[in-house]
């Protein structure tokens, strides 16, 4: 009897130990972080989290992502952040990777990842800054663009030159003001383009029986500004500015038309204008004054440093004024805020574009064996493809660099250095003179 009681007591003690062991196991956490930061800060251009997060669960787990005060019920429904894996079907150790889209919203943004197992949670907070590590924002991604290029085509069969507009590579003939049926005068040229909203403006010239006419086309409909040559167009708000020469008055041909009304700039027959740019309330014009390269700001002339020459194009970014032209000593020269900048020998700059802190220029290098199209970025030059080529205009949208010009006697467009032929007929000898790129709405 005593022995039986002893055995019973031992059994009870062993049972208590077993139950005690089960209680200890049940007290282990349902989810526990083993490695990785639960609070992470990344920059606008970073697309992965600062580190992965490793955790152990006692069973299956799920995840949810919260942004602001709106909670997502499915992992990944916050469009700019996701995790992998986003769930587990059984107990075990898991490592979660965090992926992000670049932040081009101009604002910091925060998401919270919640991992849940048996009603217990861990949270990972990720903040993506609005800027890169150097403090600059990233370019907003461009999903679709319309590329407009203008120029001219010489038709060997008809023996005349015709103004052209290409939209996304599709050619359109620009008609004269006397007809909308495409009956062109002897010759016409398109020199400059500007796109404002849904309206496309082109400045150019057509030759009538009486004189060469300054023309501005709006959405393909031509308006004559009188005898002369329209070389540049710029739109600011509701105002349309055109720069060129007035051939009705050779004593002072340089003129700017604002909404069709002419304003004389020069005071002599050697005063010409070739380019216009509007920045805020200031109107800048480039040209020639008394046979010297010059710019006008709100009608007041400033001759640029150098010998006899001319200013070909003007571009304004913030407080910086860029001008390209030539003087008596050099083929090409660039002025920044009136100070001449050196260029490689036998090169000429045809346009400027400033994107963020980057300054782009297009141009040409002249040579006995053929010319070469060039694009510069912050002073570093890149030769573009094509034989006997020249670049006429540069435009930057997002991370894409567009350049118009001419190669092998054909109108061409380069996008990020890859050339596209715009010419539609072997009978045509064409050139592209200006371009404008807009994000598609």
Q: Are residues 390 and 271 in the same domain?
A: yes
Whether the predicted pLDDT of 184 surpasses 80: no
Q: Is residue 13 part of a domain?
A: no
Which among 233, 227, 38, 47 is positioned nearest to 150, based on CA atoms? 233
Distance CA 398, CA 92 (A): 45
Average pLDDT over every residue of 50-72: 83
Task: Report the range of poorest mean pLDDT among 113-127, 206-220, 291-305, 410-424.
Answer: 206-220
Q: Quickly state the pLDDT bin for 395 (edges 50, 70, 90).
A: very high
What is the pLDDT averaged over residues 76-96? 88
- 439 phi and psi, to 5 degrees? -75, 135
Considering the domain boundaries, does residue 123 fall inside one? yes
What is the average pLDDT across 43-52? 90
Structural domain includes residue 6: no
pLDDT score at 426? 62
- Burial class of residue 15, CB neighbours in 10 A (0-12, 13-18, 19+): exposed
Q: Are residues 38 and 178 in the same domain?
A: no
Of the pLDDT bands very low, low, confident and very high (cuts 50, 70, 90), residue 331 is confident
Same domain, 113 and 200: no
Domain of 55 in residue numbering reads as: 31-128
Q: Residues 107, 253: one domain?
A: no
Residues 305 and 236 in one domain: yes
| Range from 15-19, 214-218, 372-376 carrying the lowest mean pLDDT | 15-19
If asked whether residues 90 and 172 sit together in one domain, one would say: no
- Which residue from 375, 380, 367, 429 is spatially nearest to 402, judged by alpha carbons? 375
**What gap in Å lies between CA 244 and CA 191, rounded to an integer?**
11
Q: Is residue 400 part of a domain?
A: yes
Same domain, 256 and 187: yes
Same domain? For 124 and 153 the reply is: no
Q: 123 and 189, same structural domain?
A: no
- Among 88-102, 141-155, 369-383, which is the least confidently predicted range? 141-155
- The per-residue pLDDT for range 214-253, each reduced to its tens digit, is 999 999 999 989 888 899 999 999 999 999 988 766 555 7
CATH of the domain at 309: 2.130.10.150
End-of-domain residue from the set 70, 94, 128: 128
Strand order in the sheet with 358-365: 347-355, 358-365, 372-377, 380-383
- Do residue 45 and residue 162 come from a single domain? no
Kindly write down the DSSP assignment for every residue of 367-420, as one continuous string: -TT--EEEEEETTEEEEPSSSS-EEEEEEEETTEEEEEEEETTEEEEEETTEEE
List Cα–Cα distances, 181 to 174, 177, 189, 202, 386, in angstroms. Answer: 10, 10, 18, 18, 35
The answer to the question of residue 166 being in a domain is yes
How many Å apart are CA 319 and CA 89, to the nearest integer?
A: 61
Q: Is the pLDDT of residue 267 over 90?
A: no
Report, as an integer, the average pLDDT of 161-190: 77
Mean pLDDT: which of 40-44, 96-100, 168-172, 392-396 is highest? 392-396
Q: Is residue 1 part of a domain?
A: no
As given in the structure block, the two tokens for residue 391 are 């670049």
Does 72 score more than 50 pLDDT?
A: no
**Lowest mean pLDDT segment, chosen from 73-77, 96-100, 186-190, 341-345:** 73-77
Please state the domain count of the chain. Answer: 2
**Among the listed ranges 146-155, 217-226, 325-334, 372-381, which one has the minimum average pLDDT value?**
325-334
The whole-number pLDDT of residue 61 equals 95
Range with the poorest average pLDDT among 80-84, 276-280, 392-396, 415-419: 80-84
Q: What is the CATH number of the domain that holds 99?
A: 2.60.40.10
| The last residue of a domain, from among 101, 128, 155 | 128
Backbone angles phi, psi at 11, to 5 degrees: -65, -40
Instruction: State which of 99, 128, 157 marks the end of a domain.
Output: 128
Q: What is the CA radius of gyration of the chain?
A: 34
123 lies in the same domain as 151:
no
164: in domain: yes
Which has the higher per-residue pLDDT, 361 or 172? 361
Average pLDDT score over residue span 412-441:
87
- The pLDDT assigned to 254 comes to 85
pLDDT (average), residues 313-324 = 97
Gap between the Cα atoms of 335 and 311, Å rounded = 9
Q: Are residues 181 and 210 part of one domain?
A: yes
Average pLDDT over residues 45-63: 92
* Mean predicted lDDT score pLDDT of the chain: 85
Does any domain span residue 43? yes
């Amino acid at each position: 009897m005593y022995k039986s009681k002893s055995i019973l007591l031992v059994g009870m003690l062993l049972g208590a130990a077993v139950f005690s062991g089960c209680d200890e196991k049940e007290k282990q956490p349902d989810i526990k972080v083993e490695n990785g930061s639960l609070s992470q800060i990344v920059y606008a251009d970073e697309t992965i989290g600062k580190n992965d997060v490793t955790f152990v669960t006692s069973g299956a787990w799920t995840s949810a992502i919260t942004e602001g005060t709106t909670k997502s019920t499915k992992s990944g429904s916050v469009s700019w952040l996701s995790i992998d894996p986003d769930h587990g079907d059984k107990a075990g150790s898991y490592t979660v990777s965090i992926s992000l889209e670049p932040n081009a919203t101009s604002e910091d943004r925060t998401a919270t990842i919640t991992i849940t197992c048996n009603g217990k949670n861990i949270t990972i907070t990720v903040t993506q800054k609005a800027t890169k590590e150097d403090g600059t924002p990233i370019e907003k991604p461009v999903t679709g663009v319309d590329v407009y290029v203008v120029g001219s085509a010489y038709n060997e069969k008809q023996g005349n030159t015709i103004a052209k507009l290409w939209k996304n590579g599709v050619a359109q003939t620009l008609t004269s003001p006397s007809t909308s049926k495409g009956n062109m005068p002897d010759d016409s040229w398109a020199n400059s383009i500007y796109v404002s909203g849904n309206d496309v403006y082109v400045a150019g010239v057509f030759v009538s029986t009486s004189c060469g006419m300054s023309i501005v086309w709006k959405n393909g409909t031509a308006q004559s500004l009188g005898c002369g040559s329209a070389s540049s167009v710029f739109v600011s708000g509701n105002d349309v500015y055109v720069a060129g020469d007035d051939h009705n008055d050779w004593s002072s041909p340089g003129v700017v038309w604002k909404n069709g009304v002419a304003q004389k700039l020069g005071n002599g027959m050697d005063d010409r204008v070739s380019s216009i740019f509007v920045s805020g309330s200031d109107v800048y014009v480039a040209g020639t004054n008394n046979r010297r390269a010059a710019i006008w700001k709100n009608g007041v002339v400033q001759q640029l440093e150098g010998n006899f020459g001319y200013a070909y194009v003007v571009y304004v970014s913030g407080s910086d004024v860029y001008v390209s032209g030539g003087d008596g000593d050099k083929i090409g020269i660039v002025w920044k805020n009136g100070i001449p900048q050196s260029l490689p020998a036998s090169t000429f700059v045809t346009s400027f574009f400033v994107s963020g802190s980057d300054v782009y220029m297009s141009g040409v290098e002249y040579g006995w064996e053929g010319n070469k199209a060039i694009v510069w970025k912050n002073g570093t030059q890149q030769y573009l493809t094509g034989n006997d080529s020249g670049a006429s205009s540069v435009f930057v949208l997002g991370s894409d660099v567009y350049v118009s010009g001419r190669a092998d006697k054909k109108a061409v467009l380069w996008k990020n250095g890859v050339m596209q032929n715009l010419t539609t007929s072997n009978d045509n000898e064409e050139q592209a003179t200006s371009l404008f790129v807009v994000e598609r709405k």
